[in-house]
Amino acid sequence: MLQHAWRWLLEPANQQVYFSIIAAFILGLIAGLLLKRRQKGSGKAFSSRGDKAFFKGIHYILSNDRDHAIEEFAKSVQVSSDTIETYMALGNLYRSKGDIGRAIRIRQSIILRPNIDEHVRLRALFDLALDYRKGGFLNRSLDTLEKVLQKQPSNVEALKEMERIYEEMSEWEKAFEVRKKIARQEKGDHDHILAHYQTEMGKEHHRNGDLSKARSCFQKATSIDGRCVDAYLHLGDLFFQKEEYKKAIGAWRKVAEIAPKFTFLAYRRLEGAYSKMENLKPVEDFLKECARSNSDAFTHMALARYRYNEQDYEGALKELDSALQLDPGFWEARKFKGEILLNQGMKEEALSSYADLIFQLNVPYLKFQCSNCGFKAPELQWQCPQCRQWDTINLMDTVSVDSGSAEPRSSEANTVVDGEITQEHK
Protein backbone atom coordinates (compact mmCIF):
# COMPACT_ATOMS: atom_id res chain seq x y z
CA MET A 1 0.00 0.00 0.00
CA LEU A 2 2.74 2.44 0.98
CA GLN A 3 4.76 1.51 -2.09
CA HIS A 4 1.83 2.32 -4.38
CA ALA A 5 1.35 5.65 -2.61
CA TRP A 6 5.05 6.49 -2.99
CA ARG A 7 5.03 5.58 -6.69
CA TRP A 8 1.97 7.79 -7.17
CA LEU A 9 3.74 10.67 -5.47
CA LEU A 10 6.82 10.31 -7.71
CA GLU A 11 4.74 11.22 -10.77
CA PRO A 12 5.24 14.98 -11.54
CA ALA A 13 1.54 15.54 -12.18
CA ASN A 14 0.61 13.94 -8.87
CA GLN A 15 3.25 15.96 -7.05
CA GLN A 16 1.57 19.18 -8.21
CA VAL A 17 -1.75 17.98 -6.76
CA TYR A 18 -0.04 16.96 -3.52
CA PHE A 19 1.71 20.30 -3.04
CA SER A 20 -1.46 22.18 -3.96
CA ILE A 21 -3.26 20.36 -1.15
CA ILE A 22 -0.49 21.31 1.29
CA ALA A 23 -0.56 24.93 0.06
CA ALA A 24 -4.34 25.04 0.48
CA PHE A 25 -4.05 23.70 4.02
CA ILE A 26 -1.36 26.21 5.05
CA LEU A 27 -3.07 29.15 3.43
CA GLY A 28 -6.36 28.06 4.98
CA LEU A 29 -4.73 28.29 8.39
CA ILE A 30 -3.45 31.77 7.56
CA ALA A 31 -6.87 32.88 6.38
CA GLY A 32 -8.44 31.42 9.52
CA LEU A 33 -6.07 33.36 11.73
CA LEU A 34 -6.79 36.56 9.86
CA LEU A 35 -10.53 36.00 10.08
CA LYS A 36 -10.36 35.30 13.79
CA ARG A 37 -8.22 38.36 14.43
CA ARG A 38 -10.34 40.74 12.42
CA GLN A 39 -13.63 39.42 13.73
CA LYS A 40 -12.36 39.78 17.27
CA GLY A 41 -11.27 43.34 16.59
CA SER A 42 -14.30 44.68 14.73
CA GLY A 43 -17.00 41.99 14.81
CA LYS A 44 -17.30 42.29 11.02
CA ALA A 45 -16.76 39.74 8.26
CA PHE A 46 -14.17 40.18 5.56
CA SER A 47 -15.36 42.94 3.25
CA SER A 48 -12.42 45.27 2.66
CA ARG A 49 -10.50 45.50 -0.58
CA GLY A 50 -7.43 44.18 1.25
CA ASP A 51 -9.29 41.05 2.33
CA LYS A 52 -10.54 40.41 -1.18
CA ALA A 53 -7.05 40.85 -2.58
CA PHE A 54 -5.69 38.42 0.01
CA PHE A 55 -8.14 35.69 -0.97
CA LYS A 56 -7.53 36.32 -4.64
CA GLY A 57 -3.84 35.81 -3.89
CA ILE A 58 -4.65 32.47 -2.28
CA HIS A 59 -6.67 31.48 -5.34
CA TYR A 60 -3.75 32.29 -7.65
CA ILE A 61 -1.32 30.30 -5.50
CA LEU A 62 -3.58 27.26 -5.76
CA SER A 63 -3.66 27.83 -9.53
CA ASN A 64 0.16 27.96 -9.55
CA ASP A 65 0.02 31.53 -10.88
CA ARG A 66 2.68 33.20 -8.75
CA ASP A 67 2.78 36.46 -10.72
CA HIS A 68 -0.88 37.27 -10.12
CA ALA A 69 -0.62 35.99 -6.51
CA ILE A 70 2.17 38.51 -5.87
CA GLU A 71 0.09 41.26 -7.46
CA GLU A 72 -2.92 40.54 -5.21
CA PHE A 73 -0.88 40.19 -2.02
CA ALA A 74 0.84 43.49 -2.83
CA LYS A 75 -2.61 45.11 -3.09
CA SER A 76 -3.59 43.58 0.24
CA VAL A 77 -0.61 45.01 2.12
CA GLN A 78 -1.14 48.43 0.52
CA VAL A 79 -4.64 48.50 2.04
CA SER A 80 -3.54 47.14 5.43
CA SER A 81 0.16 47.11 6.30
CA ASP A 82 -0.57 45.47 9.65
CA THR A 83 -1.15 42.01 8.17
CA ILE A 84 2.09 40.19 8.95
CA GLU A 85 0.84 36.92 7.45
CA THR A 86 0.36 38.55 4.06
CA TYR A 87 3.85 39.99 4.17
CA MET A 88 5.25 36.55 5.02
CA ALA A 89 3.39 34.94 2.10
CA LEU A 90 4.52 37.71 -0.24
CA GLY A 91 8.14 37.24 0.78
CA ASN A 92 7.95 33.50 0.14
CA LEU A 93 6.48 34.13 -3.31
CA TYR A 94 9.26 36.54 -4.22
CA ARG A 95 11.86 33.99 -3.10
CA SER A 96 10.22 31.22 -5.12
CA LYS A 97 10.43 33.45 -8.22
CA GLY A 98 14.07 34.26 -7.55
CA ASP A 99 13.44 37.92 -6.67
CA ILE A 100 15.69 37.65 -3.63
CA GLY A 101 16.17 41.41 -3.16
CA ARG A 102 12.47 42.05 -2.61
CA ALA A 103 12.09 38.97 -0.41
CA ILE A 104 14.95 40.19 1.80
CA ARG A 105 13.51 43.70 2.10
CA ILE A 106 10.14 42.28 3.19
CA ARG A 107 11.77 40.14 5.93
CA GLN A 108 13.82 43.08 7.14
CA SER A 109 10.73 45.31 7.32
CA ILE A 110 8.96 42.67 9.44
CA ILE A 111 11.94 42.23 11.78
CA LEU A 112 12.26 46.00 12.34
CA ARG A 113 8.60 46.50 13.28
CA PRO A 114 8.14 47.71 16.88
CA ASN A 115 6.24 45.53 19.34
CA ILE A 116 6.28 42.55 16.98
CA ASP A 117 5.61 39.13 18.50
CA GLU A 118 8.94 37.40 19.20
CA HIS A 119 7.81 34.16 17.56
CA VAL A 120 6.91 36.04 14.37
CA ARG A 121 10.23 37.93 14.43
CA LEU A 122 12.20 34.67 14.75
CA ARG A 123 10.22 33.12 11.89
CA ALA A 124 11.00 36.18 9.76
CA LEU A 125 14.69 35.81 10.69
CA PHE A 126 14.62 32.18 9.63
CA ASP A 127 12.93 33.08 6.34
CA LEU A 128 15.56 35.79 5.84
CA ALA A 129 18.25 33.11 6.24
CA LEU A 130 16.51 31.07 3.53
CA ASP A 131 16.43 34.13 1.29
CA TYR A 132 20.16 34.70 1.78
CA ARG A 133 20.91 31.07 0.99
CA LYS A 134 18.76 31.14 -2.16
CA GLY A 135 20.67 34.26 -3.24
CA GLY A 136 24.04 32.60 -2.61
CA PHE A 137 24.91 34.70 0.44
CA LEU A 138 25.87 31.70 2.55
CA ASN A 139 27.80 33.55 5.27
CA ARG A 140 24.93 35.99 5.78
CA SER A 141 22.56 33.06 5.98
CA LEU A 142 24.71 31.42 8.64
CA ASP A 143 24.90 34.63 10.68
CA THR A 144 21.11 34.97 10.55
CA LEU A 145 20.59 31.36 11.59
CA GLU A 146 22.93 31.96 14.53
CA LYS A 147 20.61 34.75 15.70
CA VAL A 148 17.65 32.37 15.54
CA LEU A 149 19.54 29.70 17.48
CA GLN A 150 20.64 32.16 20.16
CA LYS A 151 16.96 32.58 21.02
CA GLN A 152 15.90 29.01 20.18
CA PRO A 153 18.89 26.65 20.65
CA SER A 154 16.67 23.60 20.08
CA ASN A 155 15.22 24.82 16.77
CA VAL A 156 15.84 21.70 14.65
CA GLU A 157 14.64 23.38 11.46
CA ALA A 158 17.30 26.08 11.82
CA LEU A 159 19.97 23.53 12.77
CA LYS A 160 19.24 21.43 9.67
CA GLU A 161 19.38 24.49 7.42
CA MET A 162 22.73 25.41 8.95
CA GLU A 163 23.95 21.84 8.42
CA ARG A 164 22.98 21.97 4.72
CA ILE A 165 24.95 25.17 4.24
CA TYR A 166 28.03 23.70 5.88
CA GLU A 167 27.70 20.70 3.55
CA GLU A 168 27.56 23.01 0.53
CA MET A 169 30.66 24.79 1.81
CA SER A 170 32.43 21.47 2.56
CA GLU A 171 32.82 22.61 6.16
CA TRP A 172 32.58 19.04 7.39
CA GLU A 173 33.80 19.60 10.94
CA LYS A 174 31.17 22.28 11.53
CA ALA A 175 28.50 20.10 9.92
CA PHE A 176 29.57 17.31 12.30
CA GLU A 177 29.08 19.57 15.35
CA VAL A 178 25.67 20.75 14.13
CA ARG A 179 24.53 17.16 13.48
CA LYS A 180 25.45 16.27 17.08
CA LYS A 181 23.12 19.05 18.26
CA ILE A 182 20.37 17.74 15.99
CA ALA A 183 20.88 14.24 17.40
CA ARG A 184 20.25 15.58 20.91
CA GLN A 185 16.92 17.07 19.81
CA GLU A 186 15.63 14.52 17.32
CA LYS A 187 15.31 10.75 17.68
CA GLY A 188 16.60 8.51 14.91
CA ASP A 189 19.79 7.14 13.39
CA HIS A 190 22.38 9.90 13.17
CA ASP A 191 25.51 7.75 13.35
CA HIS A 192 25.80 7.09 9.61
CA ILE A 193 25.69 10.85 8.89
CA LEU A 194 28.26 11.63 11.59
CA ALA A 195 30.49 8.88 10.18
CA HIS A 196 30.28 10.36 6.68
CA TYR A 197 31.28 13.78 8.01
CA GLN A 198 34.32 12.24 9.69
CA THR A 199 35.17 10.45 6.45
CA GLU A 200 34.97 13.70 4.49
CA MET A 201 37.28 15.33 7.04
CA GLY A 202 39.67 12.42 6.58
CA LYS A 203 39.64 12.79 2.79
CA GLU A 204 40.50 16.47 3.14
CA HIS A 205 43.44 15.72 5.46
CA HIS A 206 44.56 12.97 3.06
CA ARG A 207 44.54 15.40 0.10
CA ASN A 208 46.58 17.84 2.17
CA GLY A 209 49.13 15.16 2.97
CA ASP A 210 48.34 14.87 6.68
CA LEU A 211 48.07 11.08 6.82
CA SER A 212 48.02 10.93 10.62
CA LYS A 213 44.92 13.13 10.92
CA ALA A 214 43.33 11.38 7.95
CA ARG A 215 43.77 7.98 9.56
CA SER A 216 42.34 9.28 12.84
CA CYS A 217 39.22 10.57 11.07
CA PHE A 218 38.66 7.37 9.09
CA GLN A 219 39.02 5.25 12.22
CA LYS A 220 36.72 7.54 14.17
CA ALA A 221 34.17 7.19 11.38
CA THR A 222 34.25 3.40 11.61
CA SER A 223 33.93 3.56 15.40
CA ILE A 224 30.86 5.79 15.08
CA ASP A 225 29.28 3.61 12.39
CA GLY A 226 30.81 0.21 11.77
CA ARG A 227 29.01 -0.01 8.43
CA CYS A 228 30.51 3.09 6.81
CA VAL A 229 31.81 1.65 3.53
CA ASP A 230 33.42 4.91 2.41
CA ALA A 231 35.55 5.11 5.55
CA TYR A 232 36.92 1.57 5.15
CA LEU A 233 37.70 2.16 1.47
CA HIS A 234 39.72 5.29 2.14
CA LEU A 235 41.38 3.85 5.21
CA GLY A 236 42.60 1.04 2.93
CA ASP A 237 43.81 3.62 0.40
CA LEU A 238 45.80 5.33 3.13
CA PHE A 239 47.43 2.08 4.25
CA PHE A 240 48.18 1.22 0.62
CA GLN A 241 49.89 4.57 0.11
CA LYS A 242 52.03 3.85 3.17
CA GLU A 243 52.85 0.41 1.66
CA GLU A 244 51.12 -1.32 4.54
CA TYR A 245 49.45 -3.72 2.13
CA LYS A 246 48.12 -6.27 4.60
CA LYS A 247 46.40 -3.51 6.58
CA ALA A 248 44.99 -2.13 3.34
CA ILE A 249 43.52 -5.52 2.42
CA GLY A 250 42.17 -5.85 5.96
CA ALA A 251 40.31 -2.54 5.61
CA TRP A 252 38.93 -3.47 2.18
CA ARG A 253 37.96 -6.90 3.49
CA LYS A 254 35.56 -5.17 5.91
CA VAL A 255 33.62 -3.84 2.92
CA ALA A 256 32.94 -7.41 1.80
CA GLU A 257 31.75 -8.27 5.30
CA ILE A 258 29.43 -5.32 5.91
CA ALA A 259 28.18 -4.54 2.38
CA PRO A 260 28.79 -7.30 -0.19
CA LYS A 261 27.08 -5.28 -2.93
CA PHE A 262 29.93 -2.74 -2.77
CA THR A 263 32.77 -5.28 -2.71
CA PHE A 264 33.59 -4.42 -6.34
CA LEU A 265 34.98 -1.09 -5.06
CA ALA A 266 37.55 -3.04 -3.06
CA TYR A 267 38.35 -5.26 -6.07
CA ARG A 268 39.28 -2.23 -8.14
CA ARG A 269 41.72 -1.18 -5.47
CA LEU A 270 43.16 -4.68 -5.05
CA GLU A 271 44.33 -4.75 -8.66
CA GLY A 272 46.78 -2.00 -7.79
CA ALA A 273 48.32 -4.24 -5.14
CA TYR A 274 49.38 -6.97 -7.59
CA SER A 275 52.44 -5.13 -8.82
CA LYS A 276 53.42 -3.86 -5.37
CA MET A 277 53.14 -6.86 -3.07
CA GLU A 278 55.78 -9.55 -3.01
CA ASN A 279 53.44 -11.98 -1.26
CA LEU A 280 50.01 -12.11 -2.92
CA LYS A 281 48.69 -14.85 -0.63
CA PRO A 282 46.54 -12.37 1.41
CA VAL A 283 44.95 -11.16 -1.84
CA GLU A 284 44.22 -14.71 -2.97
CA ASP A 285 42.76 -15.64 0.41
CA PHE A 286 40.56 -12.57 0.38
CA LEU A 287 39.23 -13.23 -3.13
CA LYS A 288 38.54 -16.89 -2.43
CA GLU A 289 36.73 -16.00 0.76
CA CYS A 290 34.59 -13.52 -1.17
CA ALA A 291 33.83 -16.17 -3.80
CA ARG A 292 32.60 -18.53 -1.10
CA SER A 293 30.41 -15.97 0.65
CA ASN A 294 29.35 -13.74 -2.22
CA SER A 295 29.50 -15.55 -5.55
CA ASP A 296 28.60 -12.73 -7.93
CA ALA A 297 29.95 -11.72 -11.32
CA PHE A 298 32.29 -9.10 -9.89
CA THR A 299 33.93 -11.61 -7.56
CA HIS A 300 34.70 -13.99 -10.42
CA MET A 301 35.99 -11.08 -12.48
CA ALA A 302 38.36 -10.10 -9.68
CA LEU A 303 39.57 -13.69 -9.39
CA ALA A 304 40.07 -13.81 -13.16
CA ARG A 305 42.32 -10.77 -13.04
CA TYR A 306 44.26 -12.31 -10.19
CA ARG A 307 44.68 -15.61 -12.07
CA TYR A 308 45.77 -13.76 -15.19
CA ASN A 309 48.34 -11.80 -13.19
CA GLU A 310 49.69 -15.13 -11.94
CA GLN A 311 49.82 -16.33 -15.59
CA ASP A 312 47.12 -18.91 -14.92
CA TYR A 313 45.26 -18.20 -18.15
CA GLU A 314 43.11 -21.30 -18.02
CA GLY A 315 42.02 -20.44 -14.49
CA ALA A 316 41.28 -16.86 -15.55
CA LEU A 317 39.08 -18.04 -18.41
CA LYS A 318 37.24 -20.38 -16.07
CA GLU A 319 36.47 -17.53 -13.68
CA LEU A 320 35.30 -15.35 -16.59
CA ASP A 321 32.97 -18.11 -17.78
CA SER A 322 31.50 -18.22 -14.25
CA ALA A 323 31.05 -14.45 -14.28
CA LEU A 324 29.30 -14.49 -17.66
CA GLN A 325 27.11 -17.39 -16.62
CA LEU A 326 25.86 -15.26 -13.74
CA ASP A 327 25.59 -12.12 -15.88
CA PRO A 328 25.74 -12.54 -19.68
CA GLY A 329 25.72 -8.77 -20.07
CA PHE A 330 28.88 -8.19 -18.05
CA TRP A 331 30.77 -6.40 -20.83
CA GLU A 332 33.98 -5.94 -18.92
CA ALA A 333 34.27 -9.70 -18.34
CA ARG A 334 33.41 -10.42 -21.98
CA LYS A 335 36.04 -7.96 -23.19
CA PHE A 336 38.70 -9.40 -20.88
CA LYS A 337 37.91 -12.94 -22.02
CA GLY A 338 38.32 -11.90 -25.66
CA GLU A 339 41.68 -10.30 -24.92
CA ILE A 340 42.96 -13.47 -23.24
CA LEU A 341 41.74 -15.73 -26.06
CA LEU A 342 43.30 -13.55 -28.77
CA ASN A 343 46.58 -13.14 -26.87
CA GLN A 344 46.80 -16.92 -26.54
CA GLY A 345 46.16 -17.39 -30.26
CA MET A 346 42.78 -19.03 -29.64
CA LYS A 347 40.95 -17.24 -32.47
CA GLU A 348 38.30 -19.92 -33.05
CA GLU A 349 37.45 -19.96 -29.36
CA ALA A 350 37.22 -16.16 -29.39
CA LEU A 351 34.85 -16.27 -32.37
CA SER A 352 32.70 -18.88 -30.64
CA SER A 353 32.65 -16.89 -27.42
CA TYR A 354 31.39 -13.80 -29.23
CA ALA A 355 28.79 -15.58 -31.37
CA ASP A 356 25.93 -14.41 -29.14
CA LEU A 357 27.28 -10.86 -28.85
CA ILE A 358 24.58 -9.40 -31.08
CA PHE A 359 21.90 -10.40 -28.57
CA GLN A 360 23.59 -8.49 -25.74
CA LEU A 361 23.84 -5.09 -27.42
CA ASN A 362 20.95 -3.64 -25.46
CA VAL A 363 22.59 -4.19 -22.07
CA PRO A 364 23.02 -0.78 -20.40
CA TYR A 365 26.01 0.65 -18.66
CA LEU A 366 26.47 1.04 -14.92
CA LYS A 367 23.74 3.13 -13.28
CA PHE A 368 22.64 4.01 -9.77
CA GLN A 369 19.41 5.21 -8.22
CA CYS A 370 18.37 6.78 -4.92
CA SER A 371 15.94 4.59 -3.00
CA ASN A 372 14.54 7.66 -1.21
CA CYS A 373 13.66 10.06 -4.05
CA GLY A 374 14.31 8.07 -7.23
CA PHE A 375 17.22 10.23 -8.46
CA LYS A 376 19.28 8.39 -11.10
CA ALA A 377 23.04 8.86 -11.21
CA PRO A 378 25.69 7.52 -13.62
CA GLU A 379 28.15 7.09 -10.77
CA LEU A 380 28.11 6.14 -7.11
CA GLN A 381 27.65 8.96 -4.61
CA TRP A 382 27.28 8.50 -0.87
CA GLN A 383 24.93 11.47 -0.52
CA CYS A 384 22.05 11.95 -2.93
CA PRO A 385 22.44 15.38 -4.60
CA GLN A 386 18.67 15.72 -4.93
CA CYS A 387 17.18 14.76 -1.54
CA ARG A 388 20.50 15.16 0.38
CA GLN A 389 20.03 11.83 2.19
CA TRP A 390 23.07 9.68 2.97
CA ASP A 391 23.52 6.00 1.94
CA THR A 392 20.38 5.84 -0.21
CA ILE A 393 21.99 5.42 -3.66
CA ASN A 394 22.26 1.81 -4.83
CA LEU A 395 23.04 -0.08 -8.00
CA MET A 396 20.13 -0.52 -10.40
CA ASP A 397 19.79 -4.08 -11.59
CA THR A 398 20.09 -4.99 -15.25
CA VAL A 399 16.45 -5.96 -15.75
CA SER A 400 15.11 -2.63 -14.50
CA VAL A 401 17.52 -0.49 -16.51
CA ASP A 402 17.11 -2.55 -19.67
CA SER A 403 13.32 -2.47 -19.61
CA GLY A 404 13.21 1.29 -19.10
CA SER A 405 10.84 0.78 -16.19
CA ALA A 406 9.74 3.87 -14.29
CA GLU A 407 10.21 1.92 -11.09
CA PRO A 408 13.75 0.45 -11.20
CA ARG A 409 14.72 -1.90 -8.44
CA SER A 410 17.95 -1.85 -6.46
CA SER A 411 19.44 -5.23 -5.75
CA GLU A 412 21.80 -6.79 -3.27
CA ALA A 413 23.34 -8.90 -6.06
CA ASN A 414 23.45 -6.34 -8.83
CA THR A 415 24.89 -6.92 -12.26
CA VAL A 416 27.23 -4.32 -13.62
CA VAL A 417 28.53 -3.80 -17.10
CA ASP A 418 31.45 -2.01 -18.69
CA GLY A 419 32.42 1.12 -16.83
CA GLU A 420 34.28 2.10 -13.70
CA ILE A 421 33.39 4.12 -10.66
CA THR A 422 35.21 7.38 -11.12
CA GLN A 423 33.72 9.34 -8.24
CA GLU A 424 32.33 8.30 -4.89
CA HIS A 425 31.14 11.60 -3.43
CA LYS A 426 30.30 15.03 -4.65
Indicate the pTM of the whole model. 0.67
Helices in 259-330 by DSSP H: which ranges? 263-271, 281-293, 297-309, 313-326
Question: Which domains, ranges and CATH numbers included, belong to the chain?
Answer: 2-185 (1.25.40.10), 365-426 (no CATH)
3 state SS of 112 = coil
Give the number of other Cβ atoms within 10 Å of residue 345's Cβ. Answer: 9
- Of residues 25 and 316, more confidence is placed in 316
> Could you tell me the pLDDT band of residue 404, with boundaries at 50, 70 and 90?
very low
Contacts (Cβ under 8 Å, ≥6 apart) of 329 = 360, 363, 398, 415, 417
Specify whether the CB–CB gap between 176 and 192 falls below 8 A: no
3 state SS of 209 = coil
Report how far residue 286's alpha carbon sits from residue 17's, in angstroms, rounded to the nearest whole number. Answer: 53
Specify whether the CB–CB gap between 388 and 167 falls below 8 A: yes
Cα-trace Rg, the chain:
29
Instruction: Average the pLDDT over each of 81-85, 128-132, 302-306, 348-352 and give the range with the smallest value.
Output: 81-85
Which stretch of DSSP H or E encloses residue 370?
strand 368-370
Report how far residue 56's alpha carbon sits from residue 52's, in angstroms, rounded to the nearest whole number. Answer: 6
Report how far residue 158's alpha carbon sits from residue 141's, in angstroms, rounded to the nearest whole number. Answer: 11
- Of residues 234 and 265, more confidence is placed in 234
> Mind giving me the DSSP string for 93-109?
HHHHTT-HHHHHHHHHH
Instruction: Average the pLDDT over each of 17-21, 353-357, 401-405 and give the range with the smallest value.
Output: 401-405
324-339 pLDDT, tens digit per residue, is 888 877 878 888 888 8
Terminal-to-terminal C-alpha distance of the chain: 34
Report how far residue 394's alpha carbon sits from residue 382's, in angstroms, rounded to the nearest whole number. Answer: 9
Contacts (Cβ under 8 Å, ≥6 apart) of 46 = 34, 35, 38, 52, 55
41-100 pLDDT, tens digit per residue, is 443 444 454 455 555 555 554 456 556 555 555 544 443 445 667 667 767 777 877 878
CA proximity to 337, closest of 354, 317, 323, 319: 317
Q: Return the pLDDT at 356.
A: 62
